[in-house]
Structure 1
Amino acid sequence: MASDQKTYAVNLLSDCLKDIKVWSAKNRLRLNEAKSELVHLSPQFRATEPLPDFNMGEGILKMSDSVKDLGVTLDKHLTLQPHIRNICKSASWGLFRIGKVRRLLDQASTEKLIHAFVSSHLDYCNSLFAGLPISSISPLQRILNTAARMVLKALAPNIALGIGGAGGSPYTISSTYSNESAKRAL
């Protein structure tokens, strides 16, 4: 990016931030610069010049590699890797806690707990994962496989999750089990 273009872009962004601050004040809101973050979205495989920090009067708005909005972590390349890591961490914790009491629960109770403490993490804003490579989604697939194994007490389930299924459904789930008792449970 040429120096003139970069200066113009920085000035335009500064003007936008000032407009946001003015709009917030007019609507009896206060923009908290200490909690505000700015992310520069850019292609992953092309180097871009970093933007400077912005002075907002009361504080400095710093550039960040990722931002969190409505529970979704967006990184500067929109790979969603930090968000997927957060989901896996939360869902794994739920699986761990359910696993501690699984032997005391029947299948129906386990299903309810899995839906409450695991599926809720996997389902929230899952439309963002459409179009991501399989390598990015595979950690979520492993969590789903572990949850199915825990519900069915199966040895090795293979649950395939495909985004963009037929019939208007965003997911198609097909299952095959290597354990005979798991087949009877279905």
Structure 2
Amino acid sequence: MVKRCFYRMGYTCYVKEANFSNANLSRPYKFFVHSIIHTMGHRKGGYDVAADYIMCMVAALVLNLPSNFLELIFEQMKANITQEMYPRFIQMLLDDQIPNLAKIESDELPLEHTSNLTLNRLQQYKKQSESSIPKVTRLFGCLKDPNYIAPFEGKWSHDDSESENEDTKFRRFCG
């Protein structure tokens, strides 16, 4: 279901890898996934690749599926307890609740609000050619309709949805 959701979001690469690259998503979804990575990803992780648990979160949010986000967060915290890594928002909660908590400044990746300076930095990054940018796909699920109800029985779309029969294309997409 997650792979089909990313396919509908315009993802252009094969989906056999454990991580998905944001560069292969169409622009509206690229920003959405980027935001999820910023809030739920590891505080030392990158911003351009979505790990499998992030991909599951994105699919659950887009398709309005019930999902235990707390369990996902807890499992990631348990897995990384020896590496001293945890989701960024946990650091924000700790900073709020314990303002004088001792920290190693060089170990922390500070988050900043977007400013003219950060926008100028973004312009300096290598840009993709327009032909390689995935075409923008229509919004679907909760992003299109806040009252969207998830399909039942493990389906990835409703029988009466506007999407054309995508099974053949999806099989090629999976490589």
TM-score by length of 2: 0.27
Higher relative contact order (CA 8 A, sep 6+): 2
- Answer with 1 or 2: which has the greater Rg: 1
| Higher relative strand content | 1
| Higher relative helix content | 1
